Amino acid sequence: MKKYILIVVLSILTIAGAMAQDIKKDVEYGQYNGLPRQDQAMQKWRENRFGQFIHWGLYAIPGGIWEGKTYPYASEFLRGSAKIATSTWDSLIYQFDIPKYNPKEWAAIAKNMGVKYVTITTKHHEGFCLWPSEYTDFDIENTPYKKDLLREFVDAYTAVGIDVNFYYSVLDWHHPDWRYDIKSDEDRAAFERLKQFTKNQLVELVTRYPEVKGLWFDGTWDNSWKKSGQFSYELEKLLKNKRPGLIVNSRMRADEHGSRHFDSNGILMGDYESGYERRLPNPTDKEVLTRDWECCMTIPENQWGYHKDWSISHVKSPLELIEMLVQCTSQNGNFLLNFGPMGNGDIRPEEREVAKEIGEWMKVNSEAIYGCGPADLEKQDWGYYTYNEKNGKVYMTVFNNPVLGKYKIRLPKSHTLKKASLITKQVESLEIKQISPTDYFIIPDKINNKKPFVIILEIVDRASGKFHQKALT
Ligand code: H79
């Protein structure tokens, strides 16, 4: 016995020693917040769960086609794919006339779809600004439209209760001072000016649009920015001082050692992880449960901006997208679904249809999404569990129907399944059969399961008789 205790103690000391070594690296410009943030703004962000991403810029005009040729790569990269000269690309600004732009209609479509927040590209890699910026002429003021479309956008979305966030690309193909790396004094001087420009624009954005809830940085992977760890650290602080509650993604920063998203000690920077781009974690991954994160997703394979030809890749169906949303929720993540409005300001019919169908599903089932997170129950093949801490209910969203016709549930021994009912018929109970101390079958009666559907579970702790409280932890 003594020997056993000694081994345990020695193992603990070894593990503790290794952990201490892990955080030995000196990091001055890493995380400083203390995560996960528990303030009201962050809790709201977390409860929102479902957002709309909007990519809109000059790339929407050619829509992936240049001089009659279709370029299948992401339409917002057409300038590079078709090797278009900067001056030619930049002159698209004179065609940015947007007769169909109707921000109130956009906001109504988003509201109907069930999103709680929106993230719009204020400036993408091409450098064109959707707002009238004091710091460049390459902006909305110099288009035929002239007006501040971003103000109209913020007003319309805010009016229907959707939180507005700004996407901002630090990478800037238009700006003469942009550098991919810093290899000379001249590069250093230019990039200093670029940094000042970036700071000016961001302060301008949070000042002009005080409604903004968060900033979503992109184009931050090049060496020039990776070598600017102190600057981005101070910039995040400055912006948060100006707008308390502001939420910033992990993609903004690298620490002084060039480590991105997570600092050199493995600690997340910014407020949530934004590395899940067009991909999701493994559905049984438990590591992601420990932090806030967001997955951003395109409807076709890889088109963020408007591309005229969607036949060149798989276009995800509303059901596939709903499954992604539910999976994100079940793993403590948010789901940001991208839309690429057209060059004339309209929303394409395919996107309207996606929004409508997701919205119809959300109208019935959103209780399993908003304010929900992981349930800490063993994942089963029929779909995903989500859990609402406030009402103690567990939701099971079924995507795969077992040929057995019954749905298996496994609980910790300490808990028991008291009731199961369809979200659409909460007064009626479904038949439950306990098949072992931990396992149950729910045997549904005449479920219309052409669409994914939700069963609400009431799980209680045998000892306290209370609702499920994070059963496995
Ligand atoms: O705005 C959308 C895209 O236009 C933009 N991000 C989304 C939200 C985007 N820009 N570039 N990319 C996506 C793909 C670029 C990937 C790479 Fe890299 C940059 C490959 C190499 C450098 C990032 C850093 C991924 C690997 C290393």
* Tens of pLDDT, residues 307-344: 999 999 999 999 999 999 999 999 999 999 999 999 99
**Ligand 1 pocket, residue 382 CB under 6 Å:** no
Domain boundary among 315, 336, 369: 369
Q: What whole-number percentage of the chain has pLDDT above 70?
A: 93
* Tens of pLDDT, residues 46-102: 999 999 999 999 999 999 999 999 999 999 999 999 999 999 999 999 999 999 999
CA of residue 255 to ligand 1 center, whole Å: 19
Q: Does residue 403 carry a pLDDT above 80?
A: yes
**Ligand 1 pocket, residue 217 CB under 6 Å:** no
SS3 74: coil
Q: Does residue 19 carry a pLDDT above 50?
A: no
The verdict on residue 44 lying in a domain is: yes
Domain boundary among 303, 338, 369: 369
Mean pLDDT taken over the chain: 93
Domain boundary among 351, 369, 387: 369
**Judgement on whether residues 322 and 298 belong to the same structural domain of the protein:** yes
Amino acid (one-letter) located at 38: Q
**Judgement on whether residues 87 and 55 belong to the same structural domain of the protein:** yes
Atom of ligand 1 nearest to the CA of 277: 8
The verdict on residue 228 lying in a domain is: yes
**Judgement on whether residues 357 and 454 belong to the same structural domain of the protein:** no
pLDDT of residue 462: 85
* Tens of pLDDT, residues 171-199: 999 999 999 999 999 999 999 999 999 99
Find the distance separating the first CA and the last CA of the chain, reported in whole Å.
Answer: 28
CA of residue 410 to ligand 1 center, whole Å: 40
The verdict on residue 115 lying in a domain is: yes
**Judgement on whether residues 300 and 330 belong to the same structural domain of the protein:** yes
**Ligand 1 pocket, residue 296 CB under 6 Å:** yes
The verdict on residue 220 lying in a domain is: yes
Q: Does residue 4 carry a pLDDT above 80?
A: no
**Judgement on whether residues 227 and 148 belong to the same structural domain of the protein:** yes
The verdict on residue 35 lying in a domain is: no
**Judgement on whether residues 97 and 159 belong to the same structural domain of the protein:** yes
| Confidence category of residue 9, pLDDT binned at 50, 70, 90 | very low
**Judgement on whether residues 116 and 201 belong to the same structural domain of the protein:** yes
**Judgement on whether residues 306 and 211 belong to the same structural domain of the protein:** yes
**Ligand 1 pocket, residue 294 CB under 6 Å:** no
Q: Does residue 17 carry a pLDDT above 80?
A: no
Domain harbouring 452, CATH code: 2.60.40.1180
DSSP 149-174: HHHHHHHHHHHTT-EEEEEEES--SS
CA of residue 221 to ligand 1 center, whole Å: 8
| Rounded distance between C-alpha atoms, residue 162 and residue 153, angstroms | 11
**Judgement on whether residues 395 and 427 belong to the same structural domain of the protein:** yes
The verdict on residue 21 lying in a domain is: no
The verdict on residue 299 lying in a domain is: yes
Best residue among 73, 218, 307 to mutate for probing ligand 1, ranked by most atoms within 8 Å of CB: 218
394 contacts 386 by C-beta, under 8 angstroms: yes
Joined together, the tokens standing for residue 330 give 């079940």
Atom 17 of ligand 1 has which residue's CA nearest to it? 221
* Tens of pLDDT, residues 30-59: 998 888 999 999 999 999 999 999 999 999
Q: Which helix (H) or strand (E) holds 349?
A: helix 349-365
**Judgement on whether residues 408 and 463 belong to the same structural domain of the protein:** yes
CA of residue 256 to ligand 1 center, whole Å: 21
**Judgement on whether residues 361 and 379 belong to the same structural domain of the protein:** no
Atom 23 of ligand 1 has which residue's CA nearest to it? 221
CA of residue 147 to ligand 1 center, whole Å: 30
Domain count, the chain: 2
**Judgement on whether residues 347 and 385 belong to the same structural domain of the protein:** no
The verdict on residue 12 lying in a domain is: no
Q: Does residue 14 carry a pLDDT above 50?
A: no
pLDDT of residue 25: 79
CA of residue 219 to ligand 1 center, whole Å: 7
Domain harbouring 349, CATH code: 3.20.20.80
Domain coverage including residue 356: 40-369
Distances in Å between the Cα of 357 and the Cα atoms of 1, 114, 115, 286, 321 are 63, 10, 13, 31, 10
Best residue among 54, 75, 221 to mutate for probing ligand 1, ranked by most atoms within 8 Å of CB: 221
